[in-house]
Amino acid sequence: MRPLEGITVVALEQVIAGPFATRQLAELGARVIKIERPGGGDPSRGYDQTVKGMSSHFVWVNRSKESLSLDVKHPEAKVILEKLVAKADVFLQNLAPGAADRLGLGPSLTEKHPRLIWCGISGFGPAGPYAHKKAYDLLVQCEAGLLSVTGTQEAPAKAGIPVADIAAGMYAFSSILAALLRRERTGKGGVLDITMLEALGEWMGFPAYFTSYGGVPPPRSGAHHSTIVPYGPFKAGDGGTVFLSVQNEREYANFCDRVLEKPGLKTDPRFATSPLRHRNRTAFHAEVDAVFSQLKTEEVIQRLDKADIANARLNSMEEFWRHPQLEARGRMAKVASPAGPLDMLKPPFNIEGMAPRLDAVPAVGQHSDAILGELGYDAATLARLRAARAI
């Protein structure tokens, strides 16, 4: 049995943050009814066509859900929504600022349905000077200061994945789980207010505290660490790149003795402590480069492994997709979709005795008739609603 079996989630969601949260609820057993605009559906369906004609964004975060097409502004659609919410355990929305309230789907729903868990995901929250602003991932990365510490000294860089959306989705997911547990104990639902700025801000703890108490921000250092040395990429003599990380003085001694084979560097006054190595980063990197330039990539990795120094190759996406560790752990699965079966990564839930749900990626409105049938709508009524473009 999956832990969320019997839980119904109604999701007026779009793009990444909301769908990422609800997909995980679905994989733990919840029934997730995803409301989409008739015709085009979730805007992320049109972002690209790389997955057998479907969007990579959409298939990533929307498997295992039921799709109900509904024009939420249509008067009869509002009646349908009221019936759905009355039967739901969780209502989640991540519409533009103020949109849910204008539709009558704001936090006040919990007054009529006291067991309902209402979750709103927004860029900045329902109050404050930024409450009215639209929020897209890059813009929240900027507001949270991520770009100020990511990139090189010459230019900032955004993260290559939508980290603000993912962070908000993760905190929405975990908060809903906590609210469901609280409801089991108290019988009451409640309101969850998740913002992208605050979610990503939590992930910015190290540079935020470093700057607030140190007086200066950590420098942008590309793939190297802003304070730990050695940490990051180094070239081998055959042109390959090896990433490594030395986390403490014991590891540093091992690195000097067994990898660089230069024990004198342990007591070199320029490098004897972590702050000194950071201060003299360029000189220390030169010592590493002098050794690695005489070795092949595999020889560097062998030395690092024997010395128990953490290291990694820089994998392409193709290499990650075929990663031997993922293969050994059986982390790929076949998932159905409107375009046929897809190879997809399993979710990272590894709960003893439970297989996560891996149901199909839905087509727009694929489950409309079945869901509305459960609410008492017959074929004639469904035909009329379609004619009126309510569904």
Active site residues per annotation = 225
Element (H, E) at 67: strand 66-69
Element (H, E) at 36: strand 31-36
**DSSP 3-state assignment of 53?**
coil
DSSP letter string over 185-252?
HHS--EEEEEEHHHHHHHHTHHHHHHHHHHSSPPPP-TTS-SS-SSEEEEE-TTS-EEEEE--SHHHH
The 10 Å CB-count burial string (b at 16+, else e) for 190-228 is bbbbbbbbbbbbebbeebbebbeeeeeeeebbeebbbbb
> Could you give the CA distance from residue 251 to residue 260 in angstroms, rounded to a whole number?
12
> Could you give the CA distance from residue 290 to residue 310 in angstroms, rounded to a whole number?
20
CA distances from 51 to 39, 48, 58, 318, 338 (A): 20, 8, 10, 15, 11
| Cβ atoms within 10 Å of 153's Cβ, excluding its own | 9
Instruction: Dihedral sign for Cα 132, 138, 140, 143, please.
Output: negative
And the tokens for 253? 């001694």
DSSP letter string over 81-120?
HHHHHHH-SEEEE--STTHHHHTT-STTHHHH-TT-EEEE
The values of phi and psi at residue 57, to 5°, are -60, -45
**DSSP 3-state assignment of 344?**
strand
Q: How far is CA 360 from the centre of its chain?
A: 20
